[in-house]
Every structure is written in structure tokens, then in C-alpha cells.
Amino acid sequence: MFNKILIANRGEIAIRIMRACRELGIKTVAVYSSADEHAQHVQLADESILLGSAAPKESYLNADALIQAALASKADAIHPGYGFLSENASFALKVESANLTFIGPSADSIRAMGDKAEAKILMKQSGVPTVPGFEGLESDDDFKKAAKEIGYPVLVKASAGGGGKGMRVVNAENELSEAIESARSEALNSFGDERLLIEKYLADAHHIEFQVFGDKHGNLVHLFERECSIQRRHQKIIEETPSPLLTPELREQMGQAAVAAAKAVNYYNAGTIEFIVDSQPSTFNLQPFYFLEVNTRLQVEHPITELTAGIDLVQWQIRIAAGEKFPFVQSDFHQHGHAIECRVYAEDPSNGFLPSTGSLLQFIEPHGPGIRVDSGFSTGSEVNHFYDPLLAKLIVHAENRETAIQRMQTALSEFVVHGVVTNIDFMQAVMAHEDFAQGKVSTRWVEQTLRSLLPDVQQQADQLQSLIAAALADVVFVGSKSQPAVSNETDPFNPWKQTKSYRN
């Protein structure tokens, strides 16, 4: 087992990895940018190292600086978390070349599966159904020709990375050039790679992913699915497992496809095979699901799998990287109960989900049976514009879906954040919606239902403003009242000796 691990990330995922390390008796090294000097993950680590300025390219995307920090701190391994360099094959190779262990799959697997374009090509060769599209395009003319052949609407997206970054839906040819330019710019800034691919945009489909996990000895299983259809700007905001859409037969079929996809590249450690499930498969007259992409890393939403499958994925990531065998087979795993995760963001749903920045004047997390919060913030923390505005992941687990939804509604109502705008009220509205209760959602559901959800959010905001105004008016009214004079003669140390009355 490792003695010390450097965590090449920040925020809640860095803290999540630290806790797993602590339980395994492993020391941790945090890295941070100048903007994160006082961040929680820096305070909780055994030691910490400054990488550079706030810009990701100068800090969390600086591969050489990360490796030098690991060597200087005498760490044995590097855990990349998710985002940043977690799916960068060159970084994984550099880590191994420095005689350090990369906690994740091999560089070859990352290159083959982490690259969306290469992964689609490989899946096509392996007979796994894929969304119609093209890879390896460069010029705008190439994209226009491909889009015309596929048929609008199309989806332009980054070949590397994930998290909804570098993705644009294009409804007509006159939108294509601008979409390509903005997607390339975002992809380069987020992942250091500007390559794009194009594919048919499937409206009203479900986004369902399967967690796979394997060791270096050939053992590979799936840990069931996660329903990830509640999205905004192609970024997941609510996930749950089991999916209310899947039948046992479809779950079995997709699970087998996920394992087959991973085995095609001798995959080990944690990974996620993502699928698009067409609720009306007659659209293409094919089977109802299509391979979408592979995330060759730990997913943001891994806690709901941990709760329903009964396994600590982060600890097993570390143990597998250290060479241990995975002692389980597929039949050992079953889904227990129902789990939901809501991502609490500093963003304004009523203003296009734009990020909100500032100091957290109050940050109170909910507690109780079946409630888990993974966060990297606390009261007094600063939310800046340099990084993803994720404040916390709120996770609930219950014996069934109905109870889990009720528990999530209660937990959201008890989550208090002041100082920035959040999406908490918006997620409350989603939880209370009949479509969500019946599992009738799709990747476009938020977009289609937004107007009916926002009035509730706006009404609560208006009520809060009214309460604040009333409280301020009351303070002014009380402060304007004349107060009785206070005698200070009997106490020479009375703090009001130089005043005529008490002040409010």
C-alpha cells in the first residue's frame, strides 16, 4: 500500500479522496492555486504545495508542476480526481515515467476510451451501437458537410474531457461556425485539447451510464446504472439509481454491453460507460440504446453507486492501483434501495444558470438518516470565477424511490446558503414536479420545463426580498424611537457613561 498520495485536484473531490486515504492510513498532499490558498482541501491535507496562479493552465492543468510537487513531497502516487487532467493520457504517462503510480486506468486505455472520437471508432469496430456521427474533422466545411449528411439538429462536442464543457447543440447551418469556435475555445481552456467531433443530437432521450470497475488481473464488473437525464447546458445536475426507465431485461443488456466495451481495451480501475437511451427507438429502427462515450475516471455522481452497491469506490481505486485483486464477481453485487444526488451550484437558474461568485456568509449543510453531503466549502469560503461553481453534492439514500424523493426534498429545505445565488430552490421544484415523480424526464426536460419551474423559484426570491425589506424597515423604526435616559453615575466603568441612551 502507498505511504503518501498527492491529490491533483481541489474542492469536494480532493476532500473525498483524503478521507478515503485517511481510512487506509495513507498520508495526503494537497496542491492549490493562489486563489485556493485558504480552501478547505488545503487545510485538511497532511501537507500542501502551491502550484501557481489561479488560472487552471498555471496550476491544476500544469502537469509538470504536479509531478514536481509529488516528487518533492516524496509521494508514491497521484490521484487525479475528476476533471482537469484526470482523462489526459499524456499526464498519466508522465506520472508513470516519473516512477509514480497514476491512480486510474492505463495511459493506453485513457487514450483509447477517454478520447470520445477514438472511443466511438473502437465501439463501431466492436459492434456496439453508436450515435450517428463523424470524428477527425478539422475545417468548418468538413463539419458542414457532415452535419448535412447527419441531419440537424447536431451536437458538436470536445473529443477530450467531459462535464458538458465544449458541447454545443446546433439547429441550423448558420449556427454551426460560431458553435465550433466557442466549443473549441472552451475545450482548449478546460482540457488543453481543441479537437471536436459531431454527431446526431437525439432529443428527448435518456442519458444513462454504467459504472464499471476492474483490476489489473483481468477481473471486471459493472455496478449498475445511473440515470443522468436532468441536465442544464449538457451538464448533469441530478442523478439517481436505479433508473426508473430501465426494465430488468434492458438493464442486463446494457450492463453486458458496458463490460464488453471496457474489456475491449483491457480496462482496469474505475470507469463509466455512457449511453443514450432512445425512448422511441423506432426513430432509427435500431435497438433502444447507443454508446455515447467513456469517462476514464471517477465520476462526480459516484456516491449514489456507493450507497446502493455497498462499496467504497475511492478506496478500491487506491487498492487496485497498489496492485490488489478485486475480490468480487458480478453476482456479488445487487442494488439496495434508491439513491439520488443533487449538485448544489452557485448559479442563477432564472438567469441562464450563470455562475454566482462571492463570499459564503452562511453555509449550513443538512444532516440526518440517509443524508450525505460531499462539499469543499464552509461559512466564510470564497466562490470565485476561475473554477466550476459546484458547492456541494447532496446525496440521499432510502428503501425506495418515493421515500428518497421525500428525503431529498427535506434535505434541500434544510440546506442554507447565503452570500451567493444557488440552484437549491430550483432543485426543490424539480423534486416536486409530477414528471420527475413518474420518471418522465429526458436530456431536454429542464430546457422544456424551465418556464414552469422558475415561477416557484422567483416567488420564493420575492418573498425573501419582502422579508428582508420588512426586517430593515423594522430596524429603522426601532432605531428611530427615543430611548429612556440611563444614569451612569453609580458605575464609573459603565460603557454608556458618555452616551445619553442605549443604542440599537
pLDDT tens per residue across span 245-264: 999 999 999 999 999 999 98
pLDDT given for residue 34 in this prediction:
97
Cis previous bond, 242, omega within 30:
yes
| 269 or 474, which is more confident | 269
pLDDT given for residue 234 in this prediction:
83
Q: Mean pLDDT score of the chain, rounded to an integer? A: 89
Q: What class is the 4-103 domain?
A: alpha beta
Of the given ranges (101-110, 310-319, 443-452), which has the lowest mean pLDDT?
443-452
- Residue 349 CA: distances (Å) to CA of 24, 344, 462: 40, 12, 15
pLDDT given for residue 496 in this prediction:
39
| 63 or 465, which is more confident | 63
Task: For CATH 3.30.470.20, list the domain ranges present in the chain.
Answer: 205-450
Q: Which three cell numbers stand for residue 85?
A: 487532467
Instruction: State pLDDT tens for residues 169-211.
Output: 999 999 999 999 999 999 998 888 899 999 988 878 999 999 9
For domain 132-200, the question of CATH label 1.10.10.10 is answered with no
Mean pLDDT of 41-51: 98
pLDDT given for residue 283 in this prediction:
47
For domain 205-450, the question of CATH label 3.30.470.20 is answered with yes
Q: In terms of Cα–Cα distance, which of 338, 98, 353, 370 is closest to 239?
A: 338
Q: How many CA atoms lie within 13 A of 413 on its CB side?
A: 10
pLDDT given for residue 7 in this prediction:
98
Maximum mean pLDDT: which of 83-97, 198-212, 268-282: 83-97
Active site residue 297: yes
pLDDT given for residue 490 in this prediction:
45
pLDDT given for residue 464 in this prediction:
60
pLDDT value at 212 more than 90? yes
Mean pLDDT of 86-90: 94
Q: Which three cell numbers stand for residue 432?
A: 416536486
Task: For CATH 3.40.50.20, list the domain ranges present in the chain.
Answer: 4-103
pLDDT value at 135 more than 80? yes
In three state form, how does the secondary structure of 182-227 look? HHHHHHHHHHCCCCEEEEECCCCEEEEEEEEEECCCCCEEEEEEEE
Instruction: State pLDDT tens for residues 443-497.
Output: 999 999 998 888 655 565 566 666 666 666 665 555 554 444 444 444 444 443 4
- Of 226, 297, 319, 401, the catalytic one is 297
